[in-house]
Amino acid sequence: MIEIKNDKIWLSSPHMGGEEQKFVNKAFEENWIAPLGPNVNGFESDIESYLQETTHAAVLSSGTAALHLGLQLVGVTRGDTVLCQSFTFAASANPIAYLGAQPVFVDSERQTWNICPEQLEKAIKASLNKGIKPKAIIAVHLYGMPYKVAEVQKIAEKYDIPVVEDSAEALGSSYQGVACGTFGDVAALSFNGNKIITTSGGGALVSKKASIKKKTIFLASQARDEAPHYQHSEIGYNYRMSNVTAGIGRGQMMVLDERVKARRENYKYYVEHLSDIRDITFLDEPENVYSNRWLSCILTESYERREEIRKKLEAYNIESRPLWKPMHLQPVFKNCPTFTNGVSEELFEKGLCLPSGSNLKSEQLEKVVELIKSIG
């Protein structure tokens, strides 16, 4: 027998709680091997009760699918302009292109690393001056840190533009005591393999309106009209979550709070042990903000220094990753208008995500710290 040695320390790996398989087995026993069934409904109500505010959740095949349908449901169509946080993962912006709309990227502010309200208003005014009203704002709670919700909301209301809240990394985070995933006109959650909880792959579209949930499910299930035969008056998608994967989600919801706690403990450990290194800094939580600390991030003094740390860890089979490369620097989006202030470019240059999984052992955290300290 070949023994596979797997001592790699991952950035963020799946962490099952133990109950997941029971729900999956039940799907097999009852033959609900389909994109509908009791686990799908159960997972949706688990999410709705977790988020507390009156929310309605539709579970889908991915967070990207949720953003795609969310943009469509707030009215984005071909040729429209959509404002999007530049400092994010490409999945926040790609759905703008799926709809044939035009992304305009907006830089971040330093307090939360998320969309800068000043740059956002500048972008809106510039667009209005050209006679174009932006059709949506995509704001992201990056790394689980809530964006400036009140400020963004105020601007969105002033100009009457819907907000698509990308909460893919922020399940379990809250802003002034209110759960992330409940602020936008629509919000997207992700259950991809590296997220705070996972279904292997999956997502959800959350809204305060039951009608949005209904329409999401309709569109995600091929937009079938009510008829005994197959009839379609709209273009649909095959985006619904399977009842098998939803079973994993039900088990994961039972341990979500524990997962958040463990990730916050990781972050705390890094702060306690790395803060006295000359150039390393962290992103504190602003007042009344609670981050799930999906990934623990550090800032260093320079690109070279960030690379030195990353390569040292890599040499010891430890995965770390530079902060997200801003969308306005991505080759695929290079011709898109952008409102920049230098913040996201600097974060990308100097920032690094450290191993952050909820299943990290204390020896593993110690090893990461020890190696970084050894560089000096």
Ligand X SMILES: *Cc1c(COP(=O)(O)O)cnc(C)c1O
| Binding stretches for ligand X (CB under 6 A) | 62-64, 88-89, 91-92, 140, 166, 168-169, 190, 192, 203
Q: How far is the CB of 195 from ligand X (least distance, A)?
A: 6
CB atoms within 10 A of CB 106: 32
Shortest distance (Å) from residue 262 CB to ligand X: 19
Nearest distance from residue 84's CB to ligand X, in Å? Answer: 11
Query: Which is nearer to ligand X, 62 or 245 (by Cβ)?
Result: 62
Closest contact distance (angstroms) between CB of 190 and ligand X is 3
For ligand X, the closer CB: 140 or 283: 140
Could you tell me which of 173, 141, 360, 364 has the C-alpha nearest to residue 256?
173
Please say which residue, 62 or 182, places its beta carbon nearer to ligand X.
62
* Beta carbon of residue 127, minimum distance to ligand X (angstroms, whole number): 23
Cβ-based nearer residue to ligand X, 146 or 372: 146
User: What residues contact 308, with CB distance under 8 A and at least 6 apart?
Assistant: 375
Closer CB to ligand X, 32 or 143, in the complex? 143
Dist. CA 3–CA 18, nearest whole Å: 25
Two structure tokens written together for 36: 């509908």
Helices (H), the chain: 20-29, 38-51, 63-73, 94-98, 117-129, 149-158, 210-220, 243-253, 256-274, 303-315, 343-350, 362-375
**Integer Cα distance of 176 and 146 in angstroms:** 10
109 DSSP assignment: -
C-beta closer to ligand X: residue 54 or 200: 200
Closest approach, Cβ 168 to ligand X, in A, equals 4
Taking CB positions, which residue lies at the least distance from ligand X? 63
The continuous run of DSSP H or E covering 136 comes out as strand 136-140
Q: Please give the Cα distance from 63 to 189 (Å, whole number).
A: 6
